[in-house]
Amino acid sequence: MQVPNYAKVGSAVKLACRYDLEGAHLYSLTWWRGAEQFYQFSPSSPDPVIIYDSPGIAVDKGKSEREIVVLRNISHASSGKYKCEVLEDYPSFEKDSEVKVMEVVDEPKSPPKLSLGKEQWSPGEELKANCTSPLARPPSHLYWYINDVKVREREEGGGDDPRPSFLSGDGERQRAGCGRGRGWDGPLTHL
């Protein structure tokens, strides 16, 4: 079974359900999202393809076939558990199914913005900065970088400050610049 883990809002996705009936005949192949059936292929029926209305599901009938279903104009309502169910014909009517989850995402439209309290600072002086990312779903994870090297988060001396920090050459605590993670590719925002 092929269902993408992630799909972009507005895109088309291809779902595939490959099967081997070992000589038996196919009675039906159905696709479900959650508890709602949205597609049925029954080769012995006069109209072998039936598409059912389901919120967030728009089947491209012209591009869908026996083992492939194409969904167009994906939205957040398209997220969920997808199940392909294959049913053999008479006499066994043996059934098999598989489930996979697809999450629909909004990629950030631009890199994060970095705001600094001032443009220059001296060694040992605390650098205050803000890193803001455009809206994304799921939300971006923001990370701090120094010279393109990711700064590890740590707590020093048992403090409650979860912000990343690093030590400058003279041992003084400093704050760093920012970038974005969580699979969103894009340029690093530099200081």
Report the distance separating Cα 31 and Cα 3, nearest Å: 11
The confidence score (pLDDT) of residue 188 equals 35
Helices (H), 83-184: none
Does residue 30 have a pLDDT over 90? yes
More confident of the two residues 103 and 142: 103
Are residues 72 and 58 in contact, defined by beta-carbon separation less than 8 angstroms?
yes
Query: Cα-atom radius of gyration of the chain, to the nearest Å?
Result: 25
Domain spans in the chain, listed from the N-terminal domain onward: 6-105, 107-191
The confidence score (pLDDT) of residue 114 equals 82
**Within 13 A of 110's CA, how many CA atoms are on the CB side?**
6
Over residues 35-78, the pLDDT tens digits come to 999 999 999 999 999 999 999 999 999 999 989 999 999 999 99
Domain 6-105: CATH class, spelled out: mainly beta
Report the distance separating Cα 91 and Cα 24, nearest Å: 9
